[in-house]
Amino acid sequence: MAFDPTPVIKPFPPRAVDEEPGFSRLEPLVTPKELRETYLFGLPLRSVMTRQEMQDPAIQKFITRAVSRVEHEARIQVSPVKFADRHDYDLFDYQKWNFLQLNHWPILQVESFRGEYPFTSEFIEFPTDWIVTQNETGIIQLVPKNGTFSQFLITRDASLLPLILGGRMHWPQLWVVTYVAGFELDKIPAIINELVGTYATIEVLRTLNRVLFLGSHSIGIDGVSQSTTLPSPGWLAGDIKDLEEKAKELVDKVRRYYNHNIILSSIG
């Protein structure tokens, strides 16, 4: 996905400008190899009955489903997706530097902010360097610069946004904001990556729980016998339960962090 022409915003930590060399809070999205070596360490990924081994394409499917589950449960965007939101014009919000709560976050990039009059070809488009974001919660506002823009005039000291719509209080679906929400896939916050890995591991273990067992057997030679008890069906149920509890704690932390400051639009 191309992010041109506007610069990519660093969505985590928000507004960070520097960090300690050698330490990073961001990671590449978990891979099948990492899931095997870290989250599934020591487990044979093989069916006892058929001797089939779980391959990377199957593990990758669990990771993809885990990303989707994080997005639904934590109410954030993980993989980057471009959106074109339409929002109502509201005079009260407009007077607050055109305060808008976007539908998806964290914001990775805002490509354009336009006002499109319905059923006409008329529009105004704000310069991208006017756009101020609270990228972790999807809030944007406009802060005009001094000067004149080709479609309209602004005040000399940039103290007010341009007047539009003849002072109307409300106009449905006037604003169109095109933006990318999510994280670059090589720069995922560690806690979100851990949540993705935990969800993927749960699904792998649920699959293994049905096929990774032998029961018990005994061997006898010349009066000497040995018996061995091996895992039986369902032996991973306790681990799955523990991981589900861990995932609940993680998703609660992620949801609180990225949804703590969501503000509803003014009601006029």
DSSP state of 193: H
* Domain closes at, from 138, 163, 181: 181
106: preceding bond cis by omega (within 30 degrees): yes
Beta strands across the sheet bearing 107-116 = 81-90, 170-181, 107-116, 123-125
- Say yes or no: 248 and 234 in one domain: yes
Q: What is the span of the domain harbouring residue 87? A: 81-181
Pick the most confident of 19-28, 66-75, 118-127: 66-75
**pLDDT tens digit sequence for 174-215:** 899 999 999 998 999 999 999 999 999 999 999 888 776 555
Query: Is 3 part of a structural domain of the chain?
Result: no
96 token code pair: 């607050």
Domain count, the chain: 2
Beta strands across the sheet bearing 100-101 = 100-101, 139-142, 131-134
Residues in contact with 58: Cβ distance below 8 Å, sequence separation at least 6, in sequence order: none
Average pLDDT on 90-98 reads 82
Query: Is 12 part of a structural domain of the chain?
Result: no
* Domain closes at, from 130, 160, 181: 181
Query: Is 13 part of a structural domain of the chain?
Result: no
Q: Are 113 and 140 in contact (CB under 8 A)?
A: yes
**pLDDT tens digit sequence for 212-264:** 655 544 555 555 555 555 555 566 888 899 999 999 999 999 998 888 655 55
Reduced DSSP (H G I as helix, E B as strand, rest coil) percent helix, strand, coil of the chain, to 5: 30, 25, 45
Per-residue pLDDT, 3: 46
